[in-house]
Structure 1
Amino acid sequence: MKILLTGATGYIGSALAEHLAAAGHQVVALTRSAEPQPDRGWHAQLVGDTADPASLAGAVTPDIDGVIHLAPPSGDADVDTAVIEALATALRGTGRPFVYTSGVWVLGATGEAQEVGEEAPTDPIDIVGYRPRIEQRVLAEATEGVRAVVVRPGIVYGRGGGIPAILVERARKQGVPEYYGEEGVRWPTVHVDDLAELFVAAVERAEAGTLWHGVGEPATPVRDLARAAGRAAGVSAAPHAVPVEEAAEVFGPLFADALALDQSVSGAAARTGLGWRPGRPGVVAEIESGSY
């Protein structure tokens, strides 16, 4: 398949482009700059900016077999809706796939519920407040003959990046590993290469109108992540809980609330329905002795 990929130069997008190519697909990377990037191994490069929906007109040409929209949201619901319209219009009536990237933060705090699935109602925290509406806008394209799919990744790690890299850097800078909010906070996590394989499975064979959680480990205690981050940073002090109010002074209130969000989220449906087999090291092992 020839696949248009937004966010191709980003943390997840870089890994996904590699996995798509390895699976025999041709990646057409949508980039904001026309500067060539020959080392990426893309089939082609197309200039466009998801912050400017008008720049996407004509991006989905007849030879494009599918679209994976991985670029981060703009922060403006109208802009993001216009981007979906621009990318999906040419796919209508064709049965070609459109895969949209959301995230588990749309579920909000899961409370006492353990490993909540895709059927759980959304209760988004403020940083992703309007994203459930965008999810529904994407899934509605299934009625227009688009193989519309939504993937919700957990906290992504691996290749030395993602939010766990922040924990390592903060431990190195502060001399003590940190976690945020209450001691019992848990994060659903997924290795970036496992997540990339889920996107490949989704674009290849997920049915229209389906939603999938990209979660390898459903509820990793963030205190354990902080301890591992300290070891990766060469810091032996015990993890220190930082109140959300203090974290907000460093990260801003929206991101601080996200870091303190307690969740237990299942990725079992993708294993059963798509044959997804996440097999990379868990997040604690990866932070302690892997790419960090």
Structure 2
Amino acid sequence: MRVFVTGATGFIGSAVVRDLIEAGHQVIGLARSDTAAAALMAAGADVHRGSLDDLDVLRSGALTADGVIHLAFIHDFSDFAAAAETDRQAIEAIGSALEGSDKPFVVTSGTLMLTPGRLGTEVDEPIPVTPRRSEEAAIALAKRGVRSSVVRLAPSVHGEGEQGFVPTLIGIARQKGVSAYVGDGRNRWPAVHRLDAARLFRLVLEKGDTGAIYHGVAEEGVPFRDIAGVIGRQLNLPVRSITREEADAHFGWLSFAASTDNPTSSELTKERLGWQPVYPALIADLEQGHYFNN
């Protein structure tokens, strides 16, 4: 299968590209810079030049492929609504090129959009207040004859080279001189290793059902205080509780995620696709030390 991948040079996307190629697929990756294009060529992928807001480029990439995996997202939390709108338009543009083709289209979402405080499953709908409309757009396309499906990723997609939530927490701890958690720290983060996530995207591309939602979750919920604890040990910093009122000032834009209880199941995903995570769990990954080398 020839697969068009957006976000193909990112932390997760680069692993997806490698997994696809190793499984015998051809990859064409979206690249907005010479550096990204060079990385794709080095990985053995073809290059499709353009950016996420160039809708004609996205349509043409989809038309040249046998399937699409959409991973790209503008991670600008200072204007998340605008980033979400760019994502929605990108999904609709790609979907318009796939209507009637029976080509698979895998769209990325996140488990943080589920109702907090209870175990989320693949059949649960996202909370209506979220500005991100990835799932809504994908499901709407499924009703228009596009073979679209959704992968909800855990907030912690971890592994060597991550630049997301966990490195941000480490940076905050270094800056503040303390590794903090909110309240009793029992709020839970689901987690998945990037290489397990990459294999899941390929399986959904190959075997996913139209309109289905899958969970990229290896651990249902790691207590946030355990994450804060290993960060404190690795940095030789105190670990302490802060109040919810203090969280915004301490964590900044990450305050919501750091305070939210987001336990999430992937049992239906495993059952439907035969997906079984095999790479290190989050705390074990952190204990290896590579997150703290910089």
When residues 232 and 51 of structure 1 are mapped into structure 2, their CA distance, relative to the original with a 3 A threshold, is farther
User: What's the counterpart of residue 123 of structure 1?
Assistant: 127
1:190 maps to which of 171, 192, 199? 192
User: What's the counterpart of residue 75 of structure 1?
Assistant: 81
User: Where has structure 1 moved over 4 Å in runs of 4 or more?
Assistant: none
1:173-214: CA deviation from partner (whole Å, max 9, x where unpaired): 444322245522111111111111110111111111100111
Distance (Å, rounded) in 2 between the aligned partners of 1:249 and 1:236? 19
Distance (Å, rounded) in 2 between the aligned partners of 1:137 and 1:249? 34
Name which of structure 1's ranges 40-49 and 210-219 shifts more when overlaid on structure 2: 40-49
Which ranges in structure 2 are unaligned for 5 or more consecutive residues? 75-79
Q: Do 1:172 and 1:230's aligned partners in 2 also have CA atoms closer than 8 Å? A: no
**Letter paired with 1:37:** A
Aligned pairs (5 A) from 1:93-242: 93-109=100-116, 111=117, 113=118, 115-123=119-127, 129-131=130-132, 133-154=133-154, 155-161=156-162, 162-180=164-182, 182-233=184-235, 235=236, 237=238, 239-242=239-242
Matched, 1:265 2:264: yes
Aligned pairs (5 A) from 1:15-26: 15-26=15-26
When residues 122 and 249 of structure 1 are mapped into structure 2, their CA distance, relative to the original with a 3 A threshold, is same
Q: Percent identity?
A: 38
Q: Do 1:244 and 1:257's aligned partners in 2 also have CA atoms closer than 8 Å? A: no
Q: In the TM superposition, what is the alpha-carbon distance from 1:142 to its structure 2 partner?
A: 2.1
Name which of structure 1's ranges 204-213 and 134-143 shifts more when overlaid on structure 2: 134-143
User: What's the counterpart of residue 96 of structure 2?
Assistant: 89
Distance (Å, rounded) in 2 between the aligned partners of 1:167 and 1:251? 8
When residues 182 and 49 of structure 1 are mapped into structure 2, their CA distance, relative to the original with a 3 A threshold, is farther
User: What's the counterpart of residue 8 of structure 1?
Assistant: 8
User: What's the counterpart of residue 287 of structure 2?
Assistant: 288
**Letter paired with 1:70:** L
Q: In the TM superposition, what is the alpha-carbon distance from 1:145 to its structure 2 partner?
A: 2.9
Distance (Å, rounded) in 1 between the aligned partners of 2:21 and 2:271? 24
Q: In the TM superposition, what is the alpha-carbon distance from 1:244 to its structure 2 partner?
A: 4.2
Higher helix share: 2
Distance (Å, rounded) in 2 between the aligned partners of 1:247 and 1:11? 27
Distance (Å, rounded) in 1 between the aligned partners of 2:29 and 2:261? 35
SS at 1:60's partner residue? helix
Name which of structure 1's ranges 145-154 and 242-251 shifts more when overlaid on structure 2: 242-251
Q: Do 2:92 and 2:137's aligned partners in 1 also have CA atoms closer than 8 Å? A: no
1:1-54: CA deviation from partner (whole Å, max 9, x where unpaired): 111111112111122111111111122110222453156414211112113434
What is the RMSD of the two structures over their aligned residues, measured on CA atoms? 2.2
Q: Do 1:232 and 1:289's aligned partners in 2 also have CA atoms closer than 8 Å? A: no
